Structure 1
Amino acid sequence: MLLALLTACGAGGGGSEDDASATPTTSPSESPTGATTEETSVPENSPSLPPLDESSKPGSTSELTITGTVQSGVESGCLILEHEGTVYGIYGSYDSSIVYAGAEVTLHGVIDEGMMTTCQQGTPFVVSEAETAG
């Protein structure tokens, strides 16, 4: 925009003869539109990102173990488990002869708060291993 204004002022009439023949110039740090550009660099002390593997994907956390009594959720076919005051929705591949409403279980897995579910209840807990509590 600045360049357009400078060009308009220099090309329009009025002013001295020197003004009419003057051409606007841009510095190396300006683009033709007048916007300044700058190169970006990463500071030496900035943290680096971890490699993208299963544990660093959004919604993934470290392995967690929860124990309690499995209950039926409010939606048909959904199971929940309350552990230390938190209600977890139970998902993943697990043995349904171990994990069912009324069963006392210990579940190993991860929380996935970004998971979309139809159960509408509890923090999503993706089971990797299930065993009877004992």
Structure 2
Amino acid sequence: MKTQFLTLAFLLITLSLFAQSEEEAIRQTLQNYIDGSSYNNQELIQSAFYENADLFLSKKDQELWILSPQEYASLFKNREKGKFNGRNGKILMVDYANNIASAKAEILIPERGLKFIDIFLLKKLSGKWKIISKAATQIK
């Protein structure tokens, strides 16, 4: 009986650690996107995305603005790499099952009075979590 209890306890602990490491890996992918876009790092931005992902963004006077990860990263090309540009990102929620995940983040640009909500779909590809789609809306 004691052996069965110990085996069950070990299994539950192992599953819990696996779940934590998966969520941490998802959060790291999202943080790469946030840090890349906050510090003008095109490579870090692109590392978070599946190369054929679609980003569905908000743009004044345009109902739907669709960019690739490369096009999105290029929006930061004329800014000093590594210098904070005023974008503050915060991961609000992560949910996953097996090799798919969804997440939500808030992006604030206080100097311009802007607030965005980003919704992400992620998939684990070749052992790494990648954003396969992103939709954003401007709140302010």
TM-score, length-scaled by structure 1: 0.28
Name the one with the larger strand percent: 2
Name the one with the larger helix percent: 2
Higher-Rg member (1/2): 1
